[in-house]
Amino acid sequence: MRLKMCSIHVKDPAAAHSFYTGTLGFETLMAMPEYNLYIIKDPGADANSVGLLLEPSDNPIAANYMNALHDAGLPAIVFGVPDVRAEYDRLINEGVVFRGEPAEDPSGISAVFDDGCGNFVQLHQD
């Protein structure tokens, strides 16, 4: 058994796909705009890698969950990066809005940003 796909609810899957690929650097695993279906993967990963479905939040349960997480300031997902500070600087230059500067705690170094698609995303240093 292996992890095949996970999802994150977003307000607009096409806009999220553009942000997650164009700004964050993920790659498209599958895009079917006519079905509002977008799945991304880690850069350089093969077609059998874990996919992240950018799932529409048009279901009231999904929208409530997404909005409650955002209202509470909780990240919906965590992405690993080799250097949080360098990624923070790169994304700030791209106009990404962070909740604060990178910080270190017992779990490591992390920073949280708003993806503009309804979620906070945490970067955690590998």
Find the mean pLDDT for residues 88-109. 97
Domain residues of the chain, as ranges?
A: 5-125
What pLDDT digit, counting tens, does each position of 36-69 carry? 999 999 999 998 899 999 999 899 999 999 999 9
pLDDT at 28: 97
Domain 5-125 sits in CATH at 3.10.180.10
For residue 125, pLDDT over 90 is answered with yes
CA-to-CA distance for 75 and 112, rounded, in angstroms? 7
Helix extents (H) in the chain:
13-18, 60-72, 84-93
- Please state, as a whole number, how many other Cβ atoms lie within 10 Å of the Cβ of residue 63: 15
Give the strand pairing for 108-114 and 103-105: antiparallel
